[in-house]
Amino acid sequence: MVKFSASILGANLTNLEAEIKRVQPYIDEIHLDIMDGHFVPNLTFAYPVLDAVKRCTNLPIDAHLMVTNPEFHIPKLLTIGVDRITIHIESTVHINKLISQVKETDTEIFVTLNPGTPLSAIEEVLSDVDGILVMSVNPGFSGQKFIAKSLEKIKKLKEWKLKYGMDYYIAVDGGINNENIQTVINAGANILIMGYGIFKNDNLENLSRTYRK
């Protein structure tokens, strides 16, 4: 099973509703990058945009928190309602507490790590989360180049899953395109988050038919 998640940061934001409706038949979920200008060098979407996105689609929404104070935003996101919250391991010293907070609700919880953060940083929470998101670019922008070393992390996560009988999604975010998508899937990813790969793809229908299962 491979799901496509559309990162709206890669969309033409002058007409977000039309963009979401255009790609909707070919994707499984919407990925919303919440950046605060501190954790990453960019500012993006917050609650009003989340509200707007919810009004134009029924697809599940993943909120990818790239902020220095996730504890402040999690209650608000849970109140507005998202289907998944993804937290950076580098952004908190209380990951266990935040995971528990989200797990008290129906919202899925994913933990993510930057390209320079070793997998050992998230080992302790593997059995507590619904999924791990491997960042395959340094977070902040759409349209960057896939960092090939991320493939090792994806493979390792798949290996651990089988070895220890754990059940978590392996998501990958950043730089996935027509050329490397098969390699990312082969490594073990089952949620592919794509900005340019979805919104700036001339042959999205074909890509979706071939790889989305």
Which stretch in 31-39, 109-117, 156-164, 183-191 sits in contact with Zn ion by CB under 5 A? 31-39
Which residues, 6 or more positions from 151, have their beta carbon under 8 angstroms from its beta carbon?
183, 184, 187
Query: Residue 33 phi/psi, 5° resolution?
Result: -85, 110
Q: Which alpha helices (DSSP H) does the chain contain, by range?
A: 16-23, 47-56, 70-80, 95-103, 150-164, 181-187, 196-199, 204-211
The answer to whether residues 134 and 116 touch, using CB atoms and an 8 Å cutoff, is no
The reply to whether 173 belongs to the active site is yes
Rank residues 98 and 137 by Cβ distance to ligand DX5 and give the closer one: 137
- Which residues are annotated as part of the binding site for a divalent metal cation? 31, 33, 64, 173
131 binds, among Zn ion, ligand DX5, none (CB under 5 to 8 A by kind): none
Minimum CB distance to ligand DX5, residue 164 (Å):
28
**Does residue 62 touch Zn ion according to CB under 5 A?**
no
Active site residue 128: no
Residues interacting with ligand DX5, by CB under 6 A? 7, 9-10, 31, 33, 64, 137, 139-140, 142-144, 173-176, 193-197
Pairing of strands 108-113, 61-66: unpaired
Q: Which residues bind Zn ion (CB under 5 A)?
A: 33, 64, 173
Q: Which residues are catalytic?
A: 33, 173
